[in-house]
Amino acid sequence: MTKLTLGSHPYMLGFEQLEQLLERSAKSGNEGYPPFNIEQTSQTSYRISLAVAGFAETDLAITLEDRQLVIRGRQRDDSDGRVFLHRGIAARQFQRSFVLADGVEVGDAIMENGLLHVDLTRAQPETVVQKINIKKG
């Protein structure tokens, strides 16, 4: 029996790229740091909020690479000369990736009370009806 994938389904023409996006998203291997929320703020807008306490704006980078929103954080280790009796706040780096659908645009990025908010908007596509003429052969 042949395995039927999304890209090879007879009624789903041209969706091979969607299957690749799902695979890439599954392989992103995001661990649990930093924690994040995704909320729908309206019918066509979303907000991703990451808990980035201890990071400055200069420690963070946000890029859009091939429909993939990538948020990276890298803290400088400033523990030289300091003696910690307990170190529970680690200075570590992270990378979070979010695959965006076609038509989703990245808006503002706002740092507020230890949270990084990234706003996204989805454009409403216009419905286009096209009549195809049949030619005699």
Distance CA 42, CA 40 (A): 6
21 and 50 part of one domain: no
Distance CA 49, CA 95 (A): 14
Residue 137 included in any domain: no
78 and 12 part of one domain: no
Q: Specify the pLDDT at position 46.
A: 96
Write the pLDDT tens digit of every residue in 59-102.
999 999 888 999 999 987 777 788 888 887 766 899 999 989 88
State the CB neighbour count (10 A cutoff) for residue 48.
19
24 and 70 part of one domain: no
The pTM of this model reads 0.70
Phi, psi of 16, deg, nearest 5: -60, -35
Q: State the total domains in the chain.
A: 2
Span 97-125, average pLDDT: 93
4-8, 79-83, 120-124: range with lowest mean pLDDT = 4-8
Scanning 1-137, the segments in alpha helix (DSSP H) are 16-27
Residue 128 has pLDDT above 70, yes or no: yes
Sort residue 29 into left (φ over 0), alpha (ψ -120 to 50) or beta. Answer: left
Q: Are 119 and 100 in contact (CB under 8 A)?
A: no
20 and 49 part of one domain: no
Domain span at 2? 1-30
Residue 30 has pLDDT above 60, yes or no: no
Residue among 70, 34, 78 at smallest CA distance from 52: 34
Residue 4 has pLDDT above 80, yes or no: no
pLDDT band at 24 (very low <50, low <70, confident <90, very high): low
